[in-house]
Structure 1
């Protein structure tokens, strides 16, 4: 499951007993060698699906982690890439992923941007947010986009009921809930709380026009029922939305730029 360059079981246990922010600071040097990183096949498929939906001159990666998604944004045509994350450790690694990217340390629930982007993406981060937090995240993403701008993120199909992956995700979420009931600060990381139906409903409630496209994932086995293994949710800010002043980082509200 983990490569030899990945974290040890002891390191993962230490991470899980801290906060989300501190945990990812600890995990950052080895994160790209864990199964928690979004696979390149998903990132590349996202870039292909975004082709032709732009132009995307200015792109934002929400909860960018180690910057794995930056290449997908460049492939989609972005000339300016901005990555936001709460973890200083993850941003330190992301600085090497794309030296031309601007990195901002900030809470994704309180984004320091107004109408500055044509595209916003997020890869694998929504399990770290409870429902109330996601409402703030979607509202902030909508505000960060220009009218007509696009929020896009992949949503994996749930595991087949009764499969090994099904019981693994159930067990992981149950263990995380027990941990959070007994230990503080909480470490929010739930894999089962953000299916496609919830993603669509919450994006629509935030004022987006919502659609999806199936992602072709070469090299991965298809689902037995023929359904796509992953869909790309496309949430567009309506072009007639109330306009905010265009720009990059005005009204920062506590964000810290990382050189």
Structure 2
């Protein structure tokens, strides 16, 4: 599961018993050597799909981590690209990898931007927000985008009930719920709290026009359904 350069079991245990912020501060030096980093296949599929909708000027990666999403923004944006995250450790590694980008430390539930970006993306971060927190996240991204701006992110489709993935994610979420019930501070990371329909409803409530495009290049489940969708949430061009 992990490369030799990745974290040890002991390190993962310490991180898992920390807060989300502290856990990622500790994980940052080895994060790119774990399965938690967004795979190149997903980054590439997202960039390819968005290339037909650009070019864009300024770009924002929300919950940027060590900066994997910068590879997508750099290929699509003609202006400045910015990453925002609340982990100082993750931002430090991102800054070293992409010194030409702008880096901002902030809570994604209270983004400090107003109508500055043409494209916003996020990768693998929705599981860190409880359903009650998604509205604040989406409303912040909405404010950060210029009229007509686009918020895009890949989201995994539900795995079939008969698949190993279904039971693995169910087991992980149950384990995290038990951990958070008996240990403080909480570590919010769930795989099954953001179904496609609920995410689209929250985006619509924030003011976006939300659609979903199948990322079929990333494969299909046995029943023929796509494994991943690309959410495309557009801020209306006319705000009046």
How far did residue 207 of structure 1 move? Answer: 0.6
Deviation per residue, 1:72-98 (Å, 9 max, x gap): 111113421100000000001101232
Does residue 101 of the first structure (1) align with residue 101 of the second (2)? yes
Q: CA deviation at 1:12?
A: 0.6
Please give the TM-score of this superposition, normalised by the length of structure 1: 0.90
Q: Displacement, 1:221?
A: 4.8
The answer to whether the Cα contact below 8 Å between 2:159 and 2:221 also exists between their aligned partners in 1 is no
Query: Which residue is equivalent to 1:252?
Result: none
How do residues 85-124 of structure 1 correspond to structure 2 at under 5 angstroms?
A: 85-124=85-124
Higher relative contact order at CA 8 Å, sep ≥6: structure 1 or structure 2?
Answer: 1
Q: Matches of 2:227 and 2:97 in 1, distance apart?
A: 27
Q: Displacement of 1:105 after TM fit? A: 0.4
In 1, the alpha carbon distance for the partners of 2:112 and 2:54 equals 23
Residue of structure 2 in register with 1:128 after alignment: 128
Q: 1:240 — aligned with what?
A: 238
- Helix, strand or coil: the match of 2:132? helix
Contact 2:67 2:98 in 1 (8 A): yes
Residue of structure 1 equivalent to 2:38: 38
SS in 2 for 1:188: coil
User: TM-score, normalized by length of structure 2?
Assistant: 0.97
1:177 corresponds to = 177
Contact 1:68 1:97 (C-alpha < 8 Å) held by counterparts: no
Matches within 5 A, 1:58-207: 58-207=58-207
Structure 2 residue ranges without an equivalent (≥5): none
1:57 is aligned to: 57
- 1:130 Cα offset (Å): 0.7
1:141 positional shift:
0.3
- Gap regions ≥5 residues in structure 1: 243-259
Q: Secondary structure at the match of 1:150?
A: strand
Structure 1 distance, partners of 2:63, 2:36, is 13
**The residue matched to 1:15 in structure 2 has which SS?**
helix
Task: Tell me, yes or no, if the aligned pair for 2:219 and 2:226 is still in contact at 8 Å.
Answer: no
Q: CA deviation at 1:214?
A: 1.4
- Taking the aligned partners of 2:190 and 2:110, their CA distance within structure 1 comes to 21
SS of residue paired to 1:113: coil
Aligned-partner Cα distance in 2 for 1:175–1:132:
20
Q: What's the counterpart of residue 231 of structure 1?
A: 229
The structure in which a higher percent of residues are helix is 2
2:27 paired with 1:27: yes
SS at match of 1:155: strand
Of 21-30 and 194-203, the range deviating more from structure 2: 194-203
* Separation in 1, partners of 2:78, 2:198: 28
Q: Cα offset for 1:163? A: 1.8
Aligned-residue RMSD, C-alpha: 1.1
Whether contact under 8 Å (1:45, 1:216) holds in the other structure is no
Secondary structure of 1:222's partner? coil
